[in-house]
Amino acid sequence: MISFEEAITTISTLSQHFETEYINLEDADNRILAEDIYADRDYPPFNRAAMDGYAIMLSDWESGLRKYAITEIIYAGQVSKQALTSGNCYKIMTGAATPKTANVIIRKEDTHEIDNEVTIAVETAKHLQNIATQGQDLKYQALILASPCKCTPQTISLLASVGKATLKVYKLPTVAVITTGDEVIAPSKPTASHQIRNSNQYLLKALLKKWNITPSLCEHVQDNKNLLTKAFKEAIKNQLTIINGGVSAGDADYVPAVLKSLGVEMVFHKVKIRPGKPLWIGKTPLGGIVFALPGNPLSCLTTFTIFVEDYLYKCFGYASRPVYRFPIQESRIKKHPLTEFFPVQISKSQQGLNLISFNGSGDITAGLNASGLALQPDLTEELKKEDIISFYPFNNSL
């Protein structure tokens, strides 16, 4: 049995960057960029009118001129055809390119126009007023996004603005999800008193979906060596295999032995944590990775969040999975020498973490209102109110 820190270090050594591919911008949501993005030109690419109004020369204003003849109307997407001379102005629309000779825009609401002449009714004007200058947002070749970077709708909008119609991203891995157990049945079926519904299969698929990953193989297998062997033989053809249940020390916990019979090399079995102690990790003959997670609901959620996500972050190019630091809002005592993870909720009013009451790792409600997991180190028997502790957000986001 290894420590939590040793387990994370070992996962780092197993992690290798996924291959890359090019995709269309339309398909980029939630994908991870595998290239740095630079500005293809200045932004704005010209002096841009920030509102509808009249563009004048500041020198005219400073000389006391308040009435101007309209030389030309400039709309967004058009280029001025006439030079601006003293005593004249452009009538200009929001977003239009402002000629360099015009260095002030007076908003429409502060003027009065009649017979192609406009009178300005403001007391002050300053250089570049109401003009977004060329390059003020981004300069040509400025680094905009550094890889790796998760594509969000806001990111996609920016990528479109800089002309990235196709993107280099990390490929999504092939993944198999196998849940096990004679006592586990599908949610659609009636239950006997000794049976439970297969919540973990749906949990794991939903957690993977946060990464845009859809398992290529997803099935439930009873605690039968022959059936497990058949299912695992297909599952380990994938880059990542996630097995749930059957990894403890019970008489029907066949998973480690069956994986060994298929040539899967055990990397480690059992970690000094609670919940999730029975975690099993191995390497397949084809170079894939197997995570065998314990079957209790909170144990499954915890081991995926802490270990599987750490692996995915690193394979998608990140140095590590994000871990945040927050003060805990009440004291907490543990009576064992293991590193413990427990569900917490972010308190927006107190800017800290609130404990969530639950009845052990088998409690199906344990993660319901939680924002993520907090960590209590193995040698820390008591956490005191306002202690700063590590926080791991659920669902690949904060």
Q: What is the pLDDT of residues 311-320, one digit of tens each?
A: 999 999 999 8
**Distance, CA of 13 to CA of 201 (rounded, Å):** 28
d(CA 276, CA 271): 7
β-bridge mates for residue 393, sequence order: 372
pLDDT confidence bin for 348, thresholds 50/70/90: confident
Tokens of 366: 């344990």
Predicted local distance difference test score (pLDDT) of residue 349: 77
pLDDT value at 36 more than 90 = yes
Query: Radius of gyration (Cα) for the chain, nearest Å?
Result: 30
Judge whether 212 and 151 are in contact, CB under 8 Å.
no
| Predicted local confidence at residue 225, as pLDDT | 94
Share of the chain above pLDDT 70, in %: 99
When pLDDT is cut at 50, 70 and 90, the band that residue 253 belongs to is confident
pLDDT at residue 289 tops 60: yes
Backbone dihedral angles phi then psi of residue 176, each to the nearest 5 degrees: -115, 140
**Does position 359 have pLDDT exceeding 90, yes or no?**
no
Query: What's the average model confidence in pLDDT over 317-346?
Result: 95
Across 40-49, 221-230, 348-357, 384-393, least confident range: 348-357
Side-chain-facing half-sphere of 253: CA atoms under 13 Å: 16
Please give the domain boundaries of the chain with CATH numbers for all domains. Answer: 4-18+173-315 (3.40.980.10), 20-43+137-170 (3.90.105.10), 48-132 (2.170.190.11), 324-393 (2.40.340.10)
* Percent above pLDDT 90 for the chain: 89
User: Tell me: the pLDDT tens digits for 66-113?
Assistant: 999 999 999 999 999 999 999 999 999 999 999 999 999 999 999 999
Above 80 in pLDDT, residue 57? yes
Q: Over range 380-394, report the average pLDDT.
A: 96
Q: How many CB atoms lie within 10 A of CB 393?
A: 18
Q: Tokens 């004007």 appear where?
A: 125
Distance CA 261, CA 171 (A): 30
144-195 tens-digit pLDDT: 999 999 999 999 999 999 999 999 999 999 999 999 999 998 989 888 888 8
3-state class (DSSP) for residue 320: coil
pLDDT, mean of residues 277-286 = 97
Question: What 3-state DSSP class applies to 208?
Answer: helix
294/291 Cα distance (integer angstroms): 10
Task: Please give the pLDDT value at position 396.
Answer: 81
Q: Residue with structure tokens 């700063």?
A: 388
pLDDT attached to residue 251: 66
Q: Which residues pair with 315 in a beta bridge?
A: none
Report the distance separating Cα 374 and Cα 345, nearest Å. Answer: 9
- Among candidates 169, 168, 164, which has minimal Cα distance to 40? 164
**Count of other CB atoms within 10 angstroms of residue 90:** 25
Please give the average per-residue pLDDT across 225-236, as a whole number. Answer: 97
Question: 111: which residues sit within 8 A by CB, 6+ positions away?
Answer: 53, 54, 118, 119, 120, 121
Average pLDDT over residues 120-142: 97
Q: Are 302 and 294 in contact (CB under 8 A)?
A: no
Supply the pTM of this predicted model. Answer: 0.90
- Which DSSP state fits 306? I
- Rounded Cα–Cα distance for residues 88 and 319 (Å): 59
Q: Which of helix, strand or coil describes residue 364? A: coil
Residue 271 DSSP symbol: B
Coil, strand, or helix at residue 388? strand
Q: How far is CA 347 from the centre of its chain?
A: 21
pLDDT score at 358: 87
248 DSSP assignment: S
Secondary structure of residue 157 in the 3-state scheme: helix
- H-helix or E-strand containing 199? helix 199-209
Mean pLDDT confidence for 39-60: 98
| H or E element at residue 175 | strand 175-180
